[in-house]
DNA sequence: GTGGTCTAGACCACA
DNA sequence: GTGGTCTAGACCACA
């Protein structure tokens, strides 16, 4: 469910945080639901447990998850209402960045929009694929 | 002309590379034109000359610029024809990343497109502004 | 295993690159094998870690080695088949340079060949020794 | 008559020195003969006069040339007898370096000699050509 | 412990 | 003044 890009400059622990936030935002992980254990996830992602632990620790600090000693980590309650807003904010952040970068190329809004439509359709055909490289 | 974001995970030397690539792609820097000297740019960006030197060195390795001992760095000849393609490729990369990230939120293409249009118009009103934070 | 000549005009990082390429070409370092860590090699050669790091970084860019965060650097896979060709190319480069320089002295090919034979035998007697000073 | 390689790590002034030494060793420049003026040579090589001046100064310090104020630079007298020995020494240096580098590849002397013969013949066919890159 | 980035500052070749 | 190399040393991510 989660993928880490080793070529990205974004630290592994940040990538793990982002991926888990997405799972919550899409409803793949619901309030109260258990996250994979640190060791489990670390093994799956071929990361050191320390790295995953750091991601969980920071997600806990922002109250997205809670950890119960001896039991594991769970999506925090009260998350549900926040999700909708977070999702919208995330979408805007993502789109605004693309728009800003496109405009920095000195392109007209019409051109940008046309290109966006084409790429969006294209992405529908191919399913979700793509190489990130922040 | 160039701005660096100290809060970004992207290394300074990569940010400098990206910014200079943009200047070439937008035609702000044309083939044969001189780049600011390493020391000059470093001073302007409050970076260490070593950091800017690394950016220039790598841009030279990708043949975007050429350096003449004792004289300075210049946009490479033969850049002009390459620019158009690079620009398009960059635009696609930027848009595709946004599309991929939006789709990972389980949003419909229509929703995504509608949001994109709104944000694009909004960006036109405000002029080019925005808080980056890659 | 590696030696650096501080009197050479060739930068230290280039000398390190050349020496490591040789180790791979002679089979002293095989695909997958670990290279000494940057700090280790730097200490051994009495060089600054930055200098060795630059050598490794550039060897990585030419796909001769791969680096894993926190683990170290390793000879790239797929190196084996490339080695034979690289070895031959390197030999030709070395011999051609000597031939060109000898010819620039206006010597006959026979003279050059005779001298080469004598020096080659002589080198066999003495074992591998020699004062470089590029 | 002289060529400078801007991609070489050998400083320009050293390349100039070496090239002039070769001209003397091959008899292209004889004792008492005038060298091109500093400005002339600098213009021909597209170098700054300072750079050529440094080469001349150092060649003068090693007594290969003499400079007469207002007249120019000349190959020193007493050079003739030295030339023969210098030529041989230079040849040996050049060949020994090639031999050392070939042996560092773990090649047999027979292999090396065979390759040398082939490359020597090849060089005869093509005339003097070649890209150096020390 | 292993790499990666960055600053501060020195020294050199070249224009 | 313009680049290029190098050292010393700090700080961070990752194992």
CB atoms within 10 A of CB C21: 19
Decide if pLDDT at B133 tops 50: no
Count other Cβ atoms within 10 Å, centred on residue D114.
12
pLDDT band at A133 (very low <50, low <70, confident <90, very high): very low
**Mean pLDDT throughout B16-26?**
96
What integer is the mean pLDDT of D91-119?
A: 96
For the CA atoms of chain B, what is the radius of gyration?
17
Q: What is the pLDDT of residue D131?
A: 47
The two structure tokens encoding residue C64: 């001769």
Q: For residue D134, what pLDDT is reported?
A: 52
Nucleotide nearest to B70 (CA to C1'): F2
Q: What is the CA radius of gyration of chain D?
A: 17
Judge whether residue A35 has pLDDT over 90: yes
**Whether B97 and A132 lie within 8 Å, measured CB to CB:** yes
Residue B50: the pLDDT is 98
Residue D90 — φ and ψ, nearest 5°? -65, -45
Strand-pairing partners, residue C6, are: none
- The per-residue pLDDT of chain C, averaged, comes to 92
Mean pLDDT score, C74-98: 93
Quick check: A83 pLDDT over 70?
Answer: yes
Cα(B56)–Cα(B71) distance, rounded to whole angstroms? 14
Say what angle helices D49-61 and D38-45 make with each other, to 10 degrees: 120
Identify the pLDDT of residue A78.
84
Tell me what pLDDT residue A125 has. 78
Per-residue pLDDT, B1: 83
For C76-100, what is the mean pLDDT?
Answer: 92
Bridge partners (DSSP) of residue D72 are D68
Q: Which among C92, A116, C78, A76 has a CA at the least distance from the CA of B118?
A: A116
Tokens found for residue A17: 């945080």
Of A8-17, C5-14, D70-79, D92-101, minimum mean pLDDT range = D70-79
Rounded Cα distance, C81 and A91, in Å? 47
**What is the average per-residue pLDDT within C82-99?**
93
**Contact criterion met (CB below 8 Å) for C111 and D132:** no
- pLDDT at site C93: 95
Contact (Cβ atoms closer than 8 angstroms) between residue C67 and residue C73: yes
pLDDT tops 60 at residue A132: no
Average pLDDT score, chain D: 91
Residue pair B17/B64 in contact by the 8 Å Cβ criterion? no
Q: Which of A10, A102, A128 is the closest to B100 by Cβ? A: A128
CA of residue B3 relative to chain centroid, distance: 10
Q: Quick one: which residue's CA is nearest to E1's C1'?
A: C70
What was the pLDDT predicted at A129? 47
pLDDT of residue B21 exceeding 60, the answer is yes
Do C49 and C39 form a contact (C-beta atoms < 8 A)?
yes
Q: What digits encode the pLDDT tens for the residues A106-125?
A: 999 999 999 999 999 999 87
- pLDDT of residue B130 exceeding 50, the answer is no
Query: Which chain D residues are Cβ-neighbours of C132 within 8 angstroms?
Result: 97, 100
Band of residue A82 on the pLDDT scale cut at 50, 70, 90: confident
Q: What is the model's pLDDT at position C59?
A: 97
Q: Is the pLDDT of residue C55 over 70?
A: yes
CB contact under 8 A, B25 and A121: no
Task: State the pLDDT at residue B114.
Answer: 97
Residue C95's SS3 state is: helix
Q: Write out the residues of chain A at the interface with chain B, using a CB-CB cutoff of 8 A.
A: 9-11, 14, 22, 25-27, 87, 90-92, 94-107, 109, 112-113, 115-117, 119-121, 123-124, 128-130, 132, 134
Q: For the residues D25-36, what does the mean pLDDT come to?
A: 94
Chain C neighbors of D112, CB-CB under 8 A: 91, 95, 120
Rounded to an integer, what distance in angstroms lies between the CA atom of residue A94 and that of residue A107?
19
Tell me which chain A residues have a C-beta less than 8 angstroms from the C-beta of B29.
Answer: none
The average pLDDT across B106-119 equals 95
Taking the C-alpha atoms of residue D110 and residue C120, their distance in angstroms, rounded to an integer, is 10
Average pLDDT over residues D41-64: 96
Question: B27: closest CA among B65, B79, B90, B100?
Answer: B79
Determine the pLDDT at residue C2. 93
In this prediction, residue A85 carries a pLDDT of: 86
Nearest to C87 by CA among C128, C35, C26, C32: C26
**Per-residue pLDDT, A127:** 52
* Protein CA at B17 to nucleotide C1' at E10, angstroms: 26
How far apart CA C76 and CA C33 sit, in angstroms, is 8
Mean per-residue pLDDT, C100-110: 93
Q: How far is it, in rounded angstroms, from Cα C4 to Cα C47?
A: 9
R_g of chain C, CA atoms, integer Å? 17
Look at A2-16, A78-92, D57-71, D103-117 and tell me which has the smallest mean pLDDT.
A78-92
A and B make contact (3+ CB pairs below 8 Å): yes
**Cα angle A27-A32-A33, degrees, rounded to a multiple of 5:** 60
- Which residue spans within chain C are E strands per DSSP? 65-68, 72-75
Query: What tens digit of pLDDT does each residue of D70-95 get?
Result: 999 999 998 888 888 889 999 999 99
Length of chain B: 134
pTM (two decimals)? 0.90
Q: Which of A79, A2, A63, A73 is nearest to A35 (CA)?
A: A73
Q: What is the pLDDT of residues C106-134, one digit of tens each?
A: 999 999 999 999 999 999 876 544 444 45
**Mean pLDDT over residues C52-68, rounded?**
97
Q: Compute the half-sphere exposure of residue B73: CA atoms within 13 Å on the CB side of its CA.
A: 22
Task: Please give the average per-residue pLDDT across C66-91, as a whole number.
Answer: 93
* pLDDT for A67: 94
* pLDDT value at residue A90: 94
Tokens of C44: 């051994």
pLDDT given at position C81: 85
Per-residue pLDDT, A1 = 83
Q: Report the protein residue whose CA lies nearest the C1' of nucleotide E15.
A: B70
User: Is residue D116 over pLDDT 80?
Assistant: yes
């Amino acid at each position: 469910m989660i993928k880490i890009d080793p070529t990205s400059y974004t630290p592994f622990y940040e990538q793990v945080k982002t991926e888990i936030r997405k799972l919550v935002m899409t409803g793949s992980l619901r309030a109260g639901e258990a996250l994979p254990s640190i060791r489990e996830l670390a093994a799956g992602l071929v990361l050191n447990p320390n790295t995953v632990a750091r991601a969980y620790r920071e997600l806990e600090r922002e109250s997205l998850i809670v950890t119960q000693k001896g039991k594991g980590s769970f999506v925090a309650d009260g998350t549900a209402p926040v999700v909708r807003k977070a999702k919208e904010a995330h979408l805007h952040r993502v789109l605004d960045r693309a728009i800003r970068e496109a405009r920095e190329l000195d392109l007209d809004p019409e051109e940008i929009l046309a290109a966006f439509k084409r790429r969006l359709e294209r992405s529908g055909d191919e399913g979700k694929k793509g190489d990130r490289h922040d």
